[in-house]
Structure formats: C-alpha cells, structure tokens
C-alpha cells in the first residue's frame, strides 16, 4: 500500500538550514506530483511546494520562494525539501503528500516538526 | 494566486444534524475543488475531490457541490466521528491553496 514517511525535522536557529526527507513506497515516485504542506501551531494548512512527476517542474508558495528547494530522487524513492534562511514563521509541522490522479491529496505522511528558534 | 475563503469559520451542531460549509475561490476554478477534514494530531483526510466525487471509503453522508467560484460541502447526518476541522483546497493551479478551515464542534 502507499506509504509516506517524513524525517529530518528538528530545532534550528533563525538563519539556519534543514533538509526534510520523505521516503515513499507502494507507488512509482516519478508517476506523481509530490507536495510539501505545512501547518503552524494552531493554524491551518499551507501549501509549500510541489514537483511534477515526469519533468520535475517545481512551484513554490511566495512565502518560501528563493529559500526552499523541493527535489526528488526516484532511485531512492525519496522526496526532499531543502530549507535555507529559516525564520521563526517557518515553524510548523511539515507533511509530504502525493497528489491524486484527479486532484486532491489522498495520501499523506505522518509529518515532521520543524522549530525555528534561538 | 487563487485565494480561498470558507464560511462559517466555526459551527456547533449535534449528532444527526445536517450541516453545510461554503467555500469560495477568488477566480473560477471549474470543478477543481477538494475537501478534507482533520482531527487533532492527525494528517488531513481527503473526503471529496473534483468538487463532488467521494474518495474511496468516505460515507455517502458527505456531499460536495459547486463549480466556478462557489462550492459547498454538506454532511446530511452528523456522526460523532465527523467533528473535526474542514478545509477546502483548489487544485486548478499552483500554488494549490487551502481555505482557512471551518471548525465543526459538538453542541
């Protein structure tokens, strides 16, 4: 069955960097759009970035553009989010999700916590 | 970017009640609208995609309607497990924005 498992979260100082990983199984990574979505404490869902399946086209939310990079390694069945120049407002629970064939995100990981604080 | 709004922001209801949540997009998105609910400490769960199609395993008490800019999610008879936060999300274009959420609480 489809599984997504995030890792790499933690505590980092403002201005620091962190790399999140999402290990996937049960499907072919390159066949799907993959997305990072985050949720700040007590807040709603914020779409962060996605990468297309076939040609690795990427798109970012304005709030992270120029600081975050989404990438994928099909051979390792893994999705990544490189986060640089982190700010306090990046503190959130980060989920990876697979986009469905007809829209929406039917498959999510369990999430990983990122805390940006001095 | 397409902005999504939801109303109400919160709603109190009882088991067996019929409730409706509204979602509006800042521009036409056709039928590219999805609904989720989220319970504390859990990842969101997709309920409806493409405005009105039930995700596998979601009960038929959930009904999605709408197209263009205005959409609704109706729960025809609330069950105890339906109390959660509900989000709409557009998949018409990137960034694939979410609505701010509607908290459905027990009365």
pLDDT at B75: 98
- 3-class DSSP state of A30: helix
Q: Tell me which residue of B98, B68, B74 sits closest to B6, measured CA to CA.
A: B98
Does A65 have pLDDT greater than 90? yes
Does A31 have pLDDT greater than 90? yes
Does A33 have pLDDT greater than 90? yes
Residue A58: C-alpha distances to residues A34, A107, B84 (Å): 10, 19, 32
What are B49-92's pLDDT values in tens digits?
999 999 999 999 999 999 999 999 999 999 999 999 999 999 99
pLDDT at A32: 95
Contact B46 A99 (CB under 8 A): no
Contact B49 A50 (CB under 8 A): no
Averaged confidence pLDDT in chain A: 96
Percent of chain A with pLDDT over 90: 94
pLDDT at A53: 85
Contacts of A47 in chain B (CB under 8 A): 89, 95-98
Contact B1 A106 (CB under 8 A): no
B91 to chain A, minimum CA–CA distance in Å? 6
Does A102 have pLDDT greater than 90? no
Does A55 have pLDDT greater than 90? no
Count how many Cα atoms sit within 13 Å of the Cα of residue B93 in the half-sphere of its side chain: 10
């Amino acid at each position: 069955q489809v599984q997504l498992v995030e890792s790499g979260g933690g505590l980092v100082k403002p201005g620091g960097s962190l790399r999140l990983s999402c290990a996937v199984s049960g499907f072919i990574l390159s066949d799907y759009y993959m997305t990072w979505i985050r949720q700040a404490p007590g807040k709603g869902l914020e779409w962060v970035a996605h990468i297309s399946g076939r040609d690795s086209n990427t798109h970012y939310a304005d709030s992270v553009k120029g600081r975050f990079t989404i990438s994928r390694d099909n051979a390792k069945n893994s999705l990544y989010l490189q986060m640089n120049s982190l700010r306090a407002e990046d503190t959130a629970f980060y989920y990876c999700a697979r986009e469905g064939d007809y829209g929406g995100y039917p498959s999510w990981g369990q999430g990983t916590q990122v805390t940006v604080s001095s | 970017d397409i902005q999504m709004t939801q109303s109400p922001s919160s709603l109190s209801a009882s088991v067996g009640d019929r409730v409706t949540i509204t979602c509006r997009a800042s521009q036409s998105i056709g039928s590219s609208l999805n609904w989720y609910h989220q319970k504390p400490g859990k990842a969101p769960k997709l309920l409806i995609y493409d405005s009105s199609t039930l995700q596998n395993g979601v009960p038929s008490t959930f009904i999605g309607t709408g197209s263009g800019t205005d959409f609704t999610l109706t729960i025809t008879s609330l069950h105890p497990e339906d109390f959660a936060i509900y989000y709409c999300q557009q998949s018409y274009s990137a960034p694939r924005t979410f609505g701010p959420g509607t908290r459905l609480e027990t009365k």
